[in-house]
């Protein structure tokens, strides 16, 4: 079995590996869909929980999918709402509850929402996503072995229910093998490698197009949990997609691609741009970018007084709108006055950094 080299979507095929920024509420903050195209961003990740709560399926049924709603026609992956199990419930008592049935969200001042594996799949199908992610029970990073085991068992049960609902809807909508979206299972188990192994193998028995590295990837003692990533990769069939869910630091992506991971998403490049943190390759040109160099990139903070007189571009190893047309001096001026144009230009730059990163990784994939 050969590893996949491309990802089919409604507009064609995307070469692997690739990175999708998070368009949580059907928008990448500060930019529009045409900016996504100009940065050579191949696709986006949208969030099931937020879109389900804020818009519901009627909107996407009317527009025939989130891509048409945004007028964006790249690849689209929809997550399941599983991360919100951690961020909105397990970290904040009183805002919801996780049971075998599903997840009940009780946001302050808003109506209660029950999200089940079946509802998550049905809603994602209304988004016309190219890849759906099954609902999973996010293992709390502080969980002991018994608690982690419970999250794995629930994740497996929800995966079975999600797969059954997915197949039912594909049959109902007459989606043949070539027209079906991909379905991704999510591996939980925290830092317990036997649970990671068990969860991976049982998900493979259910049958998916790929598996995602689920849970919190940072170890309790600090540092990225590469051991869990290796365990998942070891027990995943070669013809599966391997997805680093939420993995976004450039050096982490490079290492995971070396393990066989080929799909990534994260809020980092766009969030950092809004916090005046730009990613820059330490190279004199695009052709001289060397990912084997331990320090192949660095960060640039544009709003310092010393840059106001600087006529050079932010990066000579970038061909984005910012670097081709504006100086460090002009960006420093915009940033120091908190002009929204600075946020747009910074976001465009960071997204082009990531698409260049993936282009370089594809050269040897």
Residue with tokens 């028995």: 205
Positive or negative: CA dihedral 301, 247, 131, 102: negative
121 vs 28: CA distance, rounded Å = 23
Residue with tokens 């599983």: 82
341 vs 240: CA distance, rounded Å = 41
Q: Could you tell me how far CA 263 lies from the centroid of its own chain? A: 8
Catalytic residue among 79, 136, 137, 225: 79
Is 79 catalytic? The answer is yes
Catalytic residue among 35, 130, 265, 272: 265
Among the listed residues 74, 90, 58, the one whose alpha carbon sits nearest the alpha carbon of residue 23: 74
Q: Within 13 A of 328's CA, how many CA atoms are on the CB side?
A: 19
The string of DSSP codes covering 230-288 is: HHHHHTS-TTSEEEETT---HHHHHHHHHHT--EEEESHHHHHHHTT-EEEESSSSGGG
* Whole-number Cα distances in Å, 58 to 79, 102, 359: 19, 22, 37
348 vs 352: CA distance, rounded Å = 6
Is 265 catalytic? The answer is yes
| Contacting residues for 364 by C-beta, under 8 A, at least 6 apart | none
Per residue in 31-46, is it b (16+ CB within 10 Å) or e — as a string? bebebbeebbbbbbbb
What pairs with residue 7 in β-bridges? Answer: 14
Active site residue ranges? 79, 265
């Amino acid at each position: 079995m050969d590893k996949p080299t491309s990802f089919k979507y409604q507009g064609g095929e995307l070469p692997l590996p690739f990175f999708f920024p998070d368009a949580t509420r059907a928008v990448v903050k500060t930019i529009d869909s045409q900016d996504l195209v100009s940065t050579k961003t191949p696709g986006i990740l949208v969030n099931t929980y937020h879109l389900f709560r804020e818009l519901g399926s009627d909107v996407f049924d009317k527009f025939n999918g989130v891509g048409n709603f945004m007028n964006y026609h790249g690849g689209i992956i929809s997550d399941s709402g599983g991360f919100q199990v951690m961020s909105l419930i397990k970290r904040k008592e009183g805002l919801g509850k996780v049971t075998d049935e599903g997840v009940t969200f009780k946001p302050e001042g808003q109506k209660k929402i029950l999200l089940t594996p079946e509802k998550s799949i049905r809603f994602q199908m209304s988004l016309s996503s190219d890849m759906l992610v099954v609902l999973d029970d996010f293992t709390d990073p502080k969980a002991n072995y018994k608690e982690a085991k419970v999250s794995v068992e629930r994740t497996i049960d929800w995966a079975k229910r999600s797969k059954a609902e997915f197949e039912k809807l594909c049959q109902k909508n007459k989606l043949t093998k070539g027209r079906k979206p991909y379905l991704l299972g999510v591996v939980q188990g925290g830092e317990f490698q036997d649970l990671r192994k068990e969860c991976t193998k049982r998900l493979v028995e259910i049958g998916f197009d790929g598996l995602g590295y689920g849970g919190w990837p940072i170890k309790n003692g600090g540092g990225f949990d590469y051991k869990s990533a290796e365990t998942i990769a070891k027990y995943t069939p070669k013809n599966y997609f391997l997805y680093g869910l939420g993995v976004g630091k450039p050096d982490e992506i490079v290492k995971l691609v070396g393990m066989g991971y080929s799909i990534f998403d994260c809020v980092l490049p766009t969030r950092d741009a809004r916090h005046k943190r730009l990613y820059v390759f330490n190279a004199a040109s695009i052709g001289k970018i060397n990912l084997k160099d331990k320090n192949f990139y660095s960060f640039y903070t544009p709003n310092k007084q010393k840059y106001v007189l600087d006529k050079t571009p932010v990066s000579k190893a970038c061909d984005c709108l910012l670097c081709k047309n504006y100086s460090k001096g002009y960006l420093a001026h915009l940033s120091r006055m908190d002009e929204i144009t600075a946020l747009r230009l910074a976001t465009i730059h960071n997204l082009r950094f990531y698409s260049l990163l993936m282009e370089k990784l594809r050269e040897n994939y």
